[in-house]
């Protein structure tokens, strides 16, 4: 081989080697990218871990009662959501187990303790079948009904016997009513951590001659103030030691979820926990499961240790495990909208703008629904259930047949029940506090 030929082949091999190096780098980047994607993909896989079998979980498939529309309503829906917001929601989410112990052997004794706390003579009890215990105070026309199984309760005043309340001078302000109701529940050990973060809301109420309630137009017109306590819980949370945790955190924050950060100490050191507060929705979005009715001081209440401003308490509390029991695949937001457009969603709320949100729902004839927003929340029923499950909340304006514009909220269960499988057991420990998108 001549020097010229040697020089020629050296240059050729140099080019080939250089191309090989470039290809090697590209291949390495692809492999790294694939591995990284696989890591994220593994992270996004649901584990269906709330029950051992899919059959067992599907027994708790979420069903939500629906309000009905007046005859002749049109199922006409228009979609006017902000660009990108429909699909900018999680695709996998936590499910949380309600930690409801069931009826205890000492249910009657525990119910008597509640009655005593609320100012009723615990020994003057009536039993209604096997389901509830009832106490009555004839002097104040108050009745307490406690569930034997769950110990949830209703305390009510019969306003047909009390008569009209003169609230012109003695009705507390809304701020005072919130303070009275909050201290009342706290003092009796009935206000739990889930309710500390959300600010209670005050609703002004009038009492009809038949003893039912309507919404007062202003405080000056009201006779009672209903103080509503809303649950606020970080049902979505991720740990900072997850792969791409910061990326996931930033993405969720862009999707309208507010976050706070806590720190915990682990065997490998201190890590951050990113908590995302999630809407807890009720059958009626404007009526949570815990409310206290506050009014002027009731002169008929002579017990020195009782709050004379409290006329009623509606109390339904379902304890939730602090950590999720598993993760489940969700239907897409667009699928949820399609379900509503087919008339298969659950109508949770429909009322005229600035309408009376206290009186019972009455059917309305709708000519058109315009969808403005869709978000992810969790549903808490008034009835006992096994799991707190995610739902889509689809909201907007309804054009009524009268020409008046109203507000509506539809609920759609978010879990894709067709994809639920038996519990997936992983070979490596999976942190228990996750929610994925």
| Residue 252 pLDDT | 65
Q: How confident is the model at residue 274 (pLDDT cuts 50, 70, 90)?
A: confident
Between these two residues, 246 and 117, which has the higher pLDDT value? 117
pLDDT tens track for 138-156 = 888 999 999 999 999 999 9
Query: Are the C-beta atoms of residues 120 and 144 closer than 8 Å to each other?
Result: yes
CA-to-CA distance for 191 and 169, rounded, in angstroms? 29
Instruction: Supply angle C-alpha 389, 230, 204, rounded to 5.
Output: 140
Between these two residues, 102 and 167, which has the higher pLDDT value? 102
Report the C-alpha dihedral over residues 228, 363, 385, 212, rounded to 10 degrees: 40
pLDDT tens track for 279-335 = 899 999 999 999 999 999 887 777 766 788 999 999 999 999 988 899 999 999 999
What backbone torsions phi and psi does residue 230 show, to the nearest 5 degrees?
Answer: -105, 140
Q: How confident is the model at residue 168 (pLDDT cuts 50, 70, 90)?
A: low
Query: Are the C-beta atoms of residues 182 and 199 closer than 8 Å to each other?
Result: no
| Residue 30 pLDDT | 40
Mean residue pLDDT of the chain comes to 83
CA-to-CA distance for 120 and 135, rounded, in angstroms? 7
pLDDT tens track for 64-120 = 999 999 999 988 899 887 644 555 566 788 899 999 887 778 899 999 999 999 999
Query: Are the C-beta atoms of residues 69 and 366 closer than 8 Å to each other?
Result: yes
Between these two residues, 257 and 327, which has the higher pLDDT value? 327
Look at 53-62, 148-157, 268-277, 395-404 and tell me which has the smallest mean pLDDT: 268-277
> Maximum distance among all alpha carbons in the chain?
121
Question: Measuring CA to CA, which residue among 290, 76, 293, 53 is closest to residue 167?
Answer: 293
| Residue 8 pLDDT | 44
pTM flag (> 0.75): yes
| Span 185-205, average pLDDT | 92
Domain residue limits, the chain: 44-100+240-280+320-437, 107-231+288-315
| Residue 166 pLDDT | 56
Between these two residues, 1 and 74, which has the higher pLDDT value? 74
Question: Measuring CA to CA, which residue among 197, 179, 216, 210 is closest to residue 294?
Answer: 179
| Residue 304 pLDDT | 67
Question: Measuring CA to CA, which residue among 77, 74, 80 is closest to residue 364?
Answer: 74
What backbone torsions phi and psi does residue 68 show, to the nearest 5 degrees?
Answer: -110, 150
Look at 201-205, 317-321, 411-415, 429-433 and tell me which has the smallest mean pLDDT: 429-433
């Amino acid at each position: 081989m001549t020097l010229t030929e040697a020089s020629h082949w050296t240059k050729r091999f140099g080019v080939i080697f250089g191309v090989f190096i470039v290809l090697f780098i590209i291949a390495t980047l692809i492999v790294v990218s694939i591995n990284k994607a696989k890591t994220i993909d593994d992270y996004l896989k649901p584990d269906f871990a709330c029950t051992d079998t899919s059959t067992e979980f599907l027994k708790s498939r979420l069903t939500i009662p629906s309000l009905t529309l007046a005859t002749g309503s049109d199922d006409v829906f228009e979609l006017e959501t902000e660009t990108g917001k429909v699909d900018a929601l999680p695709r996998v989410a936590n499910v949380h187990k309600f930690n409801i112990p069931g009826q205890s052997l000492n249910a009657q004794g525990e119910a008597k303790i509640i009655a005593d706390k609320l100012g009723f003579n615990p020994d003057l009890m009536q039993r209604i079948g096997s389901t509830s215990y009832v106490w009555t105070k004839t002097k104040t026309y108050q009745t307490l009904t406690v569930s034997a199984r769950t110990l949830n309760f209703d305390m009510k005043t019969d306003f047909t016997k009390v008569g009209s309340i003169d609230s012109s001078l003695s009705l507390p302000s809304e701020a005072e009513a919130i303070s009275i109701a909050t201290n009342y529940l706290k003092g009796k050990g009935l206000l739990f951590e889930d309710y500390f973060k959300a600010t209670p809301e005050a609703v002004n109420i009038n009492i009809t001659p038949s003893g039912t309630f309507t919404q007062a137009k202003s405080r000056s017109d009201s006779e009672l103030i209903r103080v509503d306590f809303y649950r606020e819980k970080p049902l979505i949370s991720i740990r900072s030691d997850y792969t791409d945790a910061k990326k996931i955190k930033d993405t969720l924050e862009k999707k309208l979820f507010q976050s706070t950060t806590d720190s915990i100490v682990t065997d490998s050191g201190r890590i951050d926990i990113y908590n995302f507060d999630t809407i807890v929705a009720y059958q009626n979005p404007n009526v949570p499961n815990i409310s206290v009715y506050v009014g002027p001081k009731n002169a008929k209440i002579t017990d020195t240790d009782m709050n004379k401003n409290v006329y009623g308490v509606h109390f339904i509390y379902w304890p939730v495990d602090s950590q999720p029991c598993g993760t489940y695949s969700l239907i897409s937001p667009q699928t949820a909208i399609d379900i509503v457009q087919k008339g298969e969603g659950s109508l949770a709320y429909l009322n005229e703008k600035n309408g009376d949100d206290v009186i019972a729902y009455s059917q309305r004839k709708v000519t058109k629904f315009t969808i403005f927003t869709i978000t992810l929340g969790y549903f808490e029923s008034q009835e006992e259930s096994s799991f707190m499950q995610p739902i889509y909340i689809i909201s907007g304006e309804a054009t009524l047949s009268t020409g008046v514009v109203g507000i509506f909220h539809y609920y759609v269960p978010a879990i894709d029940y067709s994809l639920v499988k038996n519990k997936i057991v992983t070979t490596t420990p999976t942190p228990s506090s996750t929610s994925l998108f």
